[in-house]
Amino acid sequence: PVSIIVTGAPQETDRVSEIVSESSVDAYNFAGKTSLGELPAVLKKCSLLIGIDSAAVHIAAAVGIPTITIFGPSSPVSWAP
């Protein structure tokens, strides 16, 4: 079975709640519930991180979690984990 954990900043809690409620798999809203210091422990429980170019993908890579990173205007050559 697949479970999804959605993280984000406290101001993103409502939007993440909407996303989680529309999910067809088990999804959990962690937006605003974890600090940057707690994020590595959360990510270690994951088998994959899919996210935008942010601290989370770099932390996931640092703790050995495979990542799929969506880049905007930044260069993957320069900023990929």
Beta carbons of 28 and 13 less than 8 angstroms apart: no
Residues 47-57 have a mean pLDDT of: 90
- Residue 31 CB burial class (10 angstroms; 0-12, 13-18, ≥19): buried
Query: pTM for the complete prediction?
Result: 0.78
Six token digits for residue 36: 């940057």
pLDDT > 90? residue 2: no
Beta carbons of 4 and 25 less than 8 angstroms apart: yes
- Write the CB contacts of 56 (distance below 8 Å, at least 6 apart in sequence): 7, 39, 43, 49
Strand, helix or coil at 3?
Answer: strand
